[in-house]
Amino acid sequence: MEKTTNNEEFSKLNCSSYGLGAFLQQFLRMALTSLGFYFYEEVLELEPLLTMTGYIIFCLWNAFNDPLIGFFVNRPFRFTKKWGRFFPWIMIAGIPWLFCYILIYSPPFSDKLTLFIWLIFTTCLFDTFNSLFFVNFQALFPTKYQTNKIRRTASAIVTMLGTVGIAFGAIIPPLFVRKYETPALFIIQSIVVSIIGGIVFILGISGWREKQSTIDDYLETYEEKKEKSSYSKSFKSALKIRSFFAFLILYGFWQVVTYCIQTSVPYVVDQILQKGSIYQTLLQAAFLIGGLLSIPVWMKYSHKQNNNKKVMLLGSSFLAIMSITLTFFPNVILLFIQIAIWGIGLGGVWIMLKPIMADIIDQSVINTEIREEGVYYGIYQFFSRTGWLMQAIIFGVIHMLTGFAEDPSSPSAQLGIRLHFGLVPTLFLIVGIIIFWKYYTLTPEKVRENQEILKGLGI
């Protein structure tokens, strides 16, 4: 069977429509990251231990449901031939996902036990639909874009839209939360966020559709290669790819840094800088400007180097250095400069995530001669959630050790905020960089060889 390819038909407009999925994911993720933990711990005055425990349960569910969903959707259904492998699930998940964001900020009761249960219930429900949407959105990328150059170009477009989504998620919610202590304002921002998300969802539909030729290729290959499989077998098979495991460690620990730093911003603004929420918006905008401006540069550099591993190592190492400096910011002006430069490193990592995962998917297809993108992106999301889990643990432990609940403005509490704003999460990232450098083996030569093999296999 001759492989069907649509690379010649690459459209930046269609890619932009596809990339709105990244916008939507990052928009909601950033909105929840920047306000969620703070809302329950500070505004609703849920004890740090209960807030941490609630987030740990949420993150554990968050982590384990991703590979389960990936495995579940990784086979043909009755609607697959007509609607595709990924598109139907994206459509099913979108609107309920947006509605759940409103529920998180709308607890019907105020007693502590009920708040704790509501935190767990709404965040887990939110993540279930998030996973169903994002696992399928991510899994679509390797089949939609099939050569290195196109993958990097598409990744740059998608990353820029995702960065704009982060900007919206960081900037818009605080505009409606002028007073941190007013719960009703958090409900208003959740409604505004969901309305914007609904508009973006509608605009992204055309980019998430799959070509009929791609669907037919998959169904034919599946019928030729299908065998009885299990979740544990697919999971173990994926983790046997050493490069995949090395990348997952780096990715998970990179998420620890991004979640910790982004979640720290309202604490830094409120307790250390003692400024209004507008400063949260400005700080979030600073790192996003740095990230956005750096993406075209990173894209050009990645095309020139043609070495995804090298670019990832450079971007993540630069990010680690700048993350450490955030702990020691002397004043608000220098903090703006530091966090903008920090965004440059973030851009370097962002732009490489999809090309590296696509290279890993190619390797997996060669190993098994069947496409299991859903499984791999489910595992990818599993490790993504470790960042959220570790953020909750780091914040909870540091806040308890430094007496944050008793006096958030004390010197020890402020030291704790500075530590989870940079130094502590960066230690994880450094470990991830070392593991990725040592064990990731998909060199440019190996990537080219794999793509030639895939052409011959017709997969």
Question: How do residues 131-155 score in pLDDT, each as one tens digit?
Answer: 899 888 988 887 887 777 787 888 8
Of the two residues 457 and 209, the one the predictor is more confident about is 209
Query: Under CATH, to which class is 8-457 assigned?
Result: mainly alpha
Give the Cα separation of 282 and 174 in Å (integer): 10
Which are the contacts of 395, defined by CB distance < 8 A and separation ≥ 6? 37, 48, 52, 260, 263, 420
Specify the DSSP class assigned to residue 272. Answer: I
Of the two residues 144 and 255, the one the predictor is more confident about is 255
Could you tell me if 25 and 140 are in contact, meaning their C-beta atoms sit under 8 angstroms apart? no
Domain range summary for the chain, segments of one domain joined by +:
8-457
pLDDT of 10 reads 66
Specify the range with the lowest mean pLDDT, choosing from 95-104, 179-188, 317-326, 436-445.
179-188
Specify the range with the lowest mean pLDDT, choosing from 117-126, 284-293, 328-337.
284-293
Of the two residues 139 and 24, the one the predictor is more confident about is 24
pLDDT digits (tens, 9 = 90+) for 340-355: 999 999 989 988 988 8
* Residue 6 reports pLDDT greater than 50: no
Reduced to 3 states (helix: H, G, I; strand: E, B; else coil), residue 115 is: helix
Asked whether the CA dihedral 110, 112, 118, 124 is positive or negative, the reply is positive
Specify the range with the lowest mean pLDDT, choosing from 35-44, 122-131, 297-306.
35-44
pTM: 0.73
pLDDT digits (tens, 9 = 90+) for 371-410: 777 778 778 877 877 887 888 889 889 999 998 888 888 9
Average pLDDT over residues 187-211: 93
Structure-token pair, residue 178: 């002028």
Average pLDDT over residues 29-50: 85
Nearest to 70 by CA among 156, 136, 154, 117: 136
Asked whether the CA dihedral 196, 292, 55, 387 is positive or negative, the reply is positive
Of the two residues 448 and 214, the one the predictor is more confident about is 448
Could you tell me if 260 and 421 are in contact, meaning their C-beta atoms sit under 8 angstroms apart? yes
Which are the contacts of 342, defined by CB distance < 8 A and separation ≥ 6? 261, 287, 290, 319, 322, 323, 325, 326
Could you tell me if 309 and 338 are in contact, meaning their C-beta atoms sit under 8 angstroms apart? no
Residue 222: C-alpha distances to residues 166, 237, 369 (Å)? 37, 17, 9
Give the Cα separation of 158 and 290 in Å (integer): 17
Work out the widest C-alpha separation in the chain, in whole angstroms. 69
Long-range contacts of 309-313 (CB under 8 A, 24+ apart): 309/356, 309/436, 309/440, 309/442, 309/443, 311/348, 311/351, 311/352, 312/250, 312/348, 312/349, 312/352, 312/356, 312/436, 313/433, 313/436, 313/437
Give the Cα separation of 453 and 450 in Å (integer): 5
Specify the range with the lowest mean pLDDT, choosing from 46-60, 213-227, 419-433.
213-227
Structure-token pair, residue 89: 């699930």
Percentage of residues in the chain having pLDDT higher than 90: 35
pLDDT digits (tens, 9 = 90+) for 411-456: 999 999 999 998 999 999 999 999 999 999 998 898 888 878 877 7
Mean pLDDT for the chain overall: 85
pLDDT of 250 reads 96
* Residue 242 reports pLDDT greater than 60: yes
